[in-house]
Structure 1
Amino acid sequence: MSSGNGQDSTLPPRLVVLTGLSGAGKSVALRALEDLDFYCVDNLPVALIPDLMASARGGRADYPRVAVGVDARNRPEDLAELPRILARLIGDGFDTQLVFLDTRDEVLIKRFSDTRRRHPLATGERALADAIALERHLLRPLSAIADLSVDTSEMNVHHLRRLVGTEVGRHGLRLIVLLESFAYRRGVPGDADFVFDARFLPNPHWVPALRPLSGRDPEVRAYFEREAAVGDYIGQIRGLVDHVLPRIEADDRAYLTLAVGCTGGRHRSVYIIERLAEHLRNQGRDGVQVFHRELS
């Protein structure tokens, strides 16, 4: 039996606590879980987790799947209390998972330098390297008890989203389908299971008013809806997807990536991916994720 968001209502309420070093990808991981119908809260004080989960009690949970981001901005004494809080929630029948995201120091320093973001523990007197060292010290007890530890040093956003979907988000769900748009000039996604080429379709890039827009904008959608070739192509892709997905699910696959590419990755491929996502969600499929590589 499933609830409205695809969660099996016979499963206990689920809590995922995401923690780890700042810059290791916690925000990306939370967004990935949000796409999988988790109720997500970032930087929640640890002491408030039991109150949040009190609304997810029993089989008729208001929030059957909750993800909470916890970082070193919590008070040290509250971080020290987290293992006991999780133990109490497990005793109360909650399904909990603590996920720790780690990254090498030199990679973190480069990420903060590239994005020009300030480390949350960096102050006028504390350099970035010292802030990272302090954060490691504060979070070491959580790293030691994590159910899943992930080193994101060599991961891009797409790889991390995929890992979160397969290792964390799939619990109680069917096959997760990632729909990705891309530009051929930047290369085909290396981990795509199916790749479709949209470069032969009419291109809004050559319409000056549409050029700065994307395939998600109403004006571009209206342009494509007037083009029979676009609708025909989407229908053919949908037919193939509807044919193969049940067979892939029967093979107990956890994840499927379907990619659509065009020249710039902004119009044709984005529009087709959005239409495919609508189609799958209208079928009641849970676990559909959309990633527009050139728009991110």
Structure 2
Amino acid sequence: MSETTSSPALRPPDAIHLIVLSGMSGGGKTVALRALEDLEFYCVDNLPTALLPQLVTAVSRHEGGRHRHVAVGVDVRNPSEDLRRMPAMLSELAAAGVQAHLIFLDCRDEVLIKRYSETRRRHPLSWQGLSLADAIAEERRVLRPLSAIADKVIDSSELNVHQLRRLIATGYAGATEGLTLMFQSFAFRRGLPLDADFVFDARCLPNPHWDPTLRPLSGKDAPVRDYLDSQPLVAEYYADTARWLDTWLPRFEADDRSYVTIAIGCTGGRHRSVYLVEKLASHYRALRNGVLTFHRELE
């Protein structure tokens, strides 16, 4: 069957938003995919180009078409023929009504070499017997057709994984319906998050740090949760915070805001703030899509 005759099957009842993530190995594609997954994108890594039409069709029919946002990772592990066909495939998808967007994650060679040396990962082209520098050069050559047609190129050279994740999340939160919430824990002793819309201070609450059995754990662990669940002051703090957010977040949504960051800090950023972030995120996930969490001192 020719590519042209397959087009009718690509016409979903409502527009599909497709993001194709490509770029240099070590540039952060996996981090970006996880950020999009947090935004309720249906994510698939290293999908053969020939299967893109089938994926779009299957996702559009899933549960009555509930999933409208798809992200696909494409990199040098794909066959060369697949990479050469990608521009034509994206054109075909666009003609069928799919909103296709190609993001290319780039990174300077010296930074990529440093990242590989620190993680001791093998480059995907190392099986060809190339040195790391030569493998990176060959990868750039193979991916040049994709970088040339990218809708957005992100240079991750100066970004850590948390900054890249936030950049993707904030940039594409608008692709999902409604307001996206980021709940972030942090330690006051390491400074305030610069991009927080609201900051709550949990240092007034009982501190599990002073219990030697709880100190090595975090607010994600059951013993710490049980301890904080048993504290009336913590329950009161949580209820007041949730009540305040329930009152004011709809006002931001009505003002067409697409992304709001709520930061909660404590002294070390491991126990009280993490506990409250997880509890608030769980509360809002039961009410809406697009709820993210980020624990600065844990990740």
TM value normalised by structure 2 = 0.89
Report what 2:26 is aligned to: 23
Task: Indicate whether 1:230 and 2:234 are aligned.
Answer: yes
Larger CA deviation: 18-27 vs 38-47? 38-47
CA drift at 1:62: 5.8
**1:81-96 alignment, distance < 5 Å:** 81-96=85-100
Report what 1:132 is aligned to: 136
Question: What RMSD over aligned residues (CA atoms) do the two structures have, in Å?
Answer: 2.0
SS of residue paired to 2:182? strand
Report what 1:259 is aligned to: 263
CA drift at 1:295: 1.7
Report what 2:52 is aligned to: 49
**1:154-173 alignment, distance < 5 Å:** 154-173=158-177
1:203 to 191, 203, 207: 207
Identity of aligned residues (%): 57
CA drift at 1:220: 1.5
**Structure 2: tracts of 5 or more residues without a match:** 1-11
Task: Give the Cα separation in 1 of the matches to 2:173 and 2:107.
Answer: 21
Equivalent position amino acid for 1:182 in 2:
F
Task: Indicate whether 1:188 and 2:195 are aligned.
Answer: no
CA drift at 1:184: 2.3
Residues 95-136 of structure 1, C-alpha deviation per residue, up to 9 Å, x if partnerless?
A: 211111111112222222222222212347312221111111
Equivalent position amino acid for 2:233 in 1:
A
Report what 1:118 is aligned to: 122
Report what 2:15 is aligned to: 12
C-alpha spacing 1:75/1:10, structure 2 compared with 1 (3 Å): closer
CA drift at 1:168: 2.6
Report what 1:107 is aligned to: 111
Larger CA deviation: 42-51 vs 273-282? 42-51
TM value normalised by structure 1 = 0.90
Task: Tell me, yes or no, if the aligned pair for 2:39 and 2:176 is still in contact at 8 Å.
Answer: no
Task: Give the Cα separation in 2 of the matches to 1:124 and 1:209.
Answer: 51
2:182 to 173, 178, 185: 178
CA drift at 1:250: 2.6
Equivalent position amino acid for 1:257 in 2:
T
CA drift at 1:27: 0.7
Equivalent position amino acid for 2:284 in 1:
L
**Structure 1: tracts of 5 or more residues without a match:** 1-8
Task: Tell me, yes or no, if the aligned pair for 1:11 and 1:172 is still in contact at 8 Å.
Answer: no
SS of residue paired to 1:170? helix
Task: Tell me, yes or no, if the aligned pair for 2:32 and 2:165 is still in contact at 8 Å.
Answer: yes
Task: Give the Cα separation in 1 of the matches to 2:104 and 2:129.
Answer: 28
Residues 263-287 of structure 1, C-alpha deviation per residue, up to 9 Å, x if partnerless?
A: 22211110000111122222x2221
Task: Give the Cα separation in 2 of the matches to 1:10 and 1:45.
Answer: 24
